[in-house]
Amino acid sequence: MKNIWLFIYYAFAQHLPMQPLPGFRLYYKIRLALVKRIIHRCGKNVVVKNKCYFGDGSRLSVGDYSQLGQNARIAGKVSIGSYVMMGPDVVMMAVTHDISDTSKPMIDPSHPSLEKPITIGNNVWIGTRVIILPGVTIGDNTVIGSGAVVTKSFSGNSIIGGVPAKFIKTKQ
């Protein structure tokens, strides 16, 4: 049954428009109804913006009142807390290639991949086009500036940004 929900989401629902177009609230409800049947855990009142991609959703958890941003790309084991706001084009990649075995070409399908979970705390704002790499944990009440590439974990109440992302200041 899950494959049917995945098909409906990717073939149809992910393309429904967002605000301010008429009917956007209905489109959000349609996407949410499907996503609740697809992902591992989906909290209440989650907003799924259009063109969000999360594979088969089996390793994605999203807390209450959070958003999956427009055109987001989420892969691997990712846990998103409650009240998380996400701008467009965010990428969260919890999977990567194991580059230690040099005897096989990287493109070889038998080449192992590594998965290091990503954890996003509560009340986090992830700006437009942020990239979060494997193994990163973002603490509660953190703001990630647009365009940041987050390669390491940050504690809560932080404002971070840059390439690679660096601590800018404590959120008051």
Catalytically annotated residues: 97
The answer to whether 120 touches 160, Cβ cutoff 8 Å, is no
Q: H or E stretch including 53?
A: none
The alpha carbon of residue 130 and the mean position of all alpha carbons in its chain are separated, in whole angstroms, by: 10
Q: Would the CA dihedral through 101, 104, 106, 112 be positive or negative?
A: negative
Residue 31 to residue 18: CA distance in whole angstroms: 11
- Each as own residue / partner, the long-range contacts of residues 61-65 (CB below 8 Å, 24 or more positions apart, any chain) are 63/122
